[in-house]
Chains A and B, each alone.
Chain A
Amino acid sequence: MSKVVKEEKYVTVPMNLSFEGIEPKGLKAVRGILLELWYLSRIEFKNIRDSWVWSVLMISLFPIITISFLNFFMVNPTDQTITRLIIGTMVFPIILMGINTFAIELSMAKHSGHFVFYSSLPISKVNFILSKLISGFIMTLPSVIIMTFIGQFMFGITLHFSWIVLPIMALCIGCCVSLGMLIGFLSPNHQLTNLGSQSFMMLVSFLTPIMIPMEQLPKVLQMASYGIPTTYVAESFHILFTTGWESAVGINIAILLGFFLICLTLVLLKMDWRVEN
Chain B
Amino acid sequence: MSDIVYEIKNIYKSYKKGKVVANNNICLDVHHGEILGLLGPNGAGKSTLVKQMVGQLKPSKGIISLYGLDVTKNAKNVSRLVGYYSQEPHSMASLSVEEAIYFTGRLRGMDLLDAKKRTKYWIDRLELGDVYKKTLKQISGGQRRLVGLGTTMVGEQPVLIFDEPTNELDPLKRKLVWDIIRERNRDEGATIILVTHNTFEAEHIVDRVGVINSGKLLAVGSVGELKKKVDQRLKIDLSISIGNREKAQKILIAWGYPVETIGENQLRLSVTREESSKYLQQIAEYMADLCCEEYKVVPPSLEDVYVHFGGKEEKVI
Where the two chains meet, the residues of A that have a C-beta atom closer than 8 Å to any C-beta of B are 1-5, 7-10, 12-13, 15-19, 22-24, 32, 35-36, 39-40, 42-43, 46-47, 49-50, 109, 112-124, 274-277
Contacts and interface: CB of A to CB of B under 8 A. Distances in A.
A12 B33 CA distance: 10
Contacts of A7: 121, 125
7 contacts: A1-B120, A13-B32, A13-B191, A42-B103, A117-B88, A119-B79, A276-B58
B99 A18 contact: no
Interface of B: 1, 3, 5, 32-33, 51, 54-58, 67-69, 72, 74-77, 79-84, 86, 88-95, 99, 103-104, 106-109, 117, 120-121, 123-125, 129-130, 132, 151, 156, 158, 187-191
Contacts of A117: 86, 88, 90-92, 151
Contact of B120 (A5, A35, A112): A5
B154 to A, nearest CB: 11
A40 B107 contact: yes
Interface centre among A12, A49, A274 (most CB of B within 10 A): A274
B112 to A, nearest CB: 9
A17 B158 contact: yes
Given A39-B103, A116-B88, A1 B124 contact: yes
B55 A275 contact: yes
Contacts of A118: 91
Contact of B107 (A5, A123, A277): A123
A1 B108 CA distance: 23
B159 to A, nearest CB: 8
B67 A19 contact: yes
A12 B191 CA distance: 11
Given A19-B67, A120-B79, A113 B56 contact: no
Contacts of A10: 156, 188
A13 B158 contact: yes
A145 to B, nearest CB: 25
B55 A274 contact: yes
Given A12-B188, A117-B88, A120-B84, A19 B69 contact: yes
Given A13-B158, A275-B56, A39 B107 contact: yes
